[in-house]
Structure 1
Amino acid sequence: MSGTLDSDNLVLALKAAAESTRLRILLLLAAGEHNVKDLTQILGQSQPRISRHLKLLAEAGLIERFREGSWVYFHVSDRSDGGRLVRRILEAVDTRDPLLRRDSARAEALKHEREAAAQAYFRKHAADWDRIRTLYVSESAVESAIVARLDGRPLKLLVDLGTGTGRMLEVLADRYERGLGLDVNQPMLAYAASRLKTAGLGRAEVRHGDIYNVALPDGAADGVVIHQVLHYLSEPAHAVREAARILAPGGRLLIVDFAPHGLEELRERHAHERLGFEADQVTAWLEEAGLSGVEVETFSPEKDDDRQQLTVTLWLAKKPERADASAKPQKLERIGS
């Protein structure tokens, strides 16, 4: 641990963790973020009981909570002394225990269920996805800022995670020598491939890929973009870490997503898992992933626009250069399917 707890707080933390259900909750929250409803489904216990356990864990400083619309999510933080203590405690837990394996399987099933709902939505709306996006916020100012932020010498490889219609590969066409868009949804990929072909962008390709497990080596990309994707994910911090992993030293990661809002209909009708993100929250994820120099820019909707629009936030972070200046950059082999 990089920090310490005084004796009173350490005893409080250990007492909070020393209960079977709370230990199961800590294991789940160390693996991903969940709300009370998730935990009641996974653990098969009542909402009042789960809420009481979460309250005790939060008061002991072992977990953090954050609100998104009308929902509250909980997670174990890597930034706090309490969170680091939790991870040390969990190292001693035998996760082969049948009860814990069942919890893990239920959590994974819940994650897949939500992501399947998002994919079904994408399949239904693949052809008019860009039109739907404009119902929420004007893209022109945001896209201009994206291009400006990635200015400079052309990127050898730009990776667009959750590429959707391939729009970012079009917008940034003069910023890369080679562009690769990854997405899990085949109808969306088919649409993106057709669109890029029509635009004559032979330097760009799209293919199936998992944002949580990108099939590229460490340091393969000079630039990574995650545009309007995080709010569909069950584990956005995981996606940020994976994006940072594939960045080369000196490479840049650019994230665009909604600021916090209260439009529950986007969750109910459009498969949004998260109702936006606080600027500090995403900044923390970037820094925890080893990136630095985080820059944040906000785009608010036009006050005289009658459409329902949302505030958009842009984050730009850089992977530190190698300490050893003589180190050779990793050679990227041809990326095949």
Structure 2
Amino acid sequence: MISRSMDELLAQLRAAAEPTRLRLLALCARGAFCVSDLCAVLGQSQPRLSRHLKLLVEAGLLERLPEGANAYFQVPAAAGLVHQLLARLPEEDAQLAADRRQAARLAAERARIASDAFRRHGADWDEMRALGLPAEAIETALLAALPARVGRVLDIGTGTGRLLELLAPRAEVALGVDASRDMLALARARLAERGLGAHCAVRQADMYRLPLPDAGFDVATLQMVLHYAEDPAAALAEAARVLRPEGLLLVLDLAPHGRAELLDRHAHRWPGFDDAEIAGWLGPAGCAPLPPVTISGPLAVRLWPARRLAVPVAALPALSF
């Protein structure tokens, strides 16, 4: 009698044993692609590729990530069989090399279109530059707060994916989430151009309702995100939910600044945060604050690190004196 695990392995091998499906796996192992992208790269019709993608998803060799009216496909982090199969494909294969070149051209064109759209609509997507903040000092402070290896990282409000690029050499898996499809287009292009798509990915998500399991990440970051939040406490609680016990939460944002014009000009909801506010939200979220760090500049920036408690605050016994 064949075991269930052997049945699953045979199903995966059958799903992969077809030229077009191997090409799809080779592409999606390098990053996330939507159906129209894959049609353009492989030169095949959407109905044909959709059938192939459906088989690969059902076999667990690809995962489907909905994004508005679209969906992106990528190789799941746990799909070790895919990487074993792809490792046996010759790197110099003419068809696979042509697919990679076409995918690179497509990524460059998507980045140009997304950047043009931002310029046309006057969107100031690089907020640190717009506010005159010391980007290099901020990035240095973030990296200094992290160990040399960080395992699984979640960047909430990833924007153009700059932080994912910085963390890529240290991370086993890095995921960025953002509500803006235009931002995600730029982030995908950045990751593809730098060859980081194999272990860095982005997806559309609401920071108050992350489509992610509990305790799935070692590190979570919110960089220049919280001052846009209607409910910062809820955003921090959701970030803490997806952290493993003893996982690290890094919150980087503006200190109190009194610059009321920023609320109108840049749509900020909060004029910066003080240590007491952040600590008051982190505690109920199940996190223990660590000493904050100040980055000086035209506007003071604070980095608030915190550790996810192994036991939630509500579960701790009351102290008696």
TM-score range for the pair, normalised by the shorter chain length? 0.5 to 0.7
Q: Does 1:317 align with 2:306?
A: yes
Distance 1:175 1:153 in 2: 5
Report the number of matched residues.
Answer: 195
Match of 1:183 in 2: 178
TM-score normalized with structure 1 length? 0.54
Distance 1:241 1:296 in 2: 19
Matched residue SS, 2:299: coil
Match of 1:227 in 2: 223
Q: 1:298 to 1:245 in 2, by over 3 A?
A: same
Q: 1:122 to 1:159 in 2, by over 3 A?
A: farther
**Offset of 1:122 from its aligned partner?**
11
- Structure 1: state its 5+ residue gaps: 1-119, 302-308, 324-337
Q: Does 1:136 align with 2:123?
A: no
- The correspondence of residues 135-154 of structure 1 with structure 2, limited to 5 A, is 135-154=131-150
* Match among 151, 157, 161 for residue 156 of structure 2: 161
* Match among 206, 212, 233 for residue 210 of structure 1: 206
Which one-letter code corresponds to 2:230 in the other structure?
A: S
Distance 1:242 1:134 in 2: 28
CA contact (8 A) 2:156 2:220 kept: yes
Deviations 1:41-79 (A, max 9, x none): xxxxxxxxxxxxxxxxxxxxxxxxxxxxxxxxxxxxxxx
TM-score normalized with structure 2 length? 0.57
Match of 1:113 in 2: none
- The correspondence of residues 183-202 of structure 1 with structure 2, limited to 5 A, is 183-202=178-197
* Match among 163, 166, 170 for residue 171 of structure 1: 166
Distance 1:131 1:219 in 2: 30
- Could you list the runs of 4 or more consecutive aligned residues of structure 1 that deviate by over 2 angstroms after TM superposition? 120-126, 128-136, 320-323
**Offset of 1:285 from its aligned partner?**
0.9
> Could you tell me the percent identity over the aligned residues?
45
- Structure 2: state its 5+ residue gaps: 1-116, 313-321
CA contact (8 A) 2:279 2:289 kept: no
Q: Does 1:271 align with 2:260?
A: no
CA contact (8 A) 2:150 2:219 kept: no
CA contact (8 A) 2:282 2:289 kept: no
**Offset of 1:197 from its aligned partner?**
1.0
Matched residue SS, 2:250: strand
Distance 1:121 1:257 in 2: 23
Q: 1:322 to 1:277 in 2, by over 3 A?
A: closer
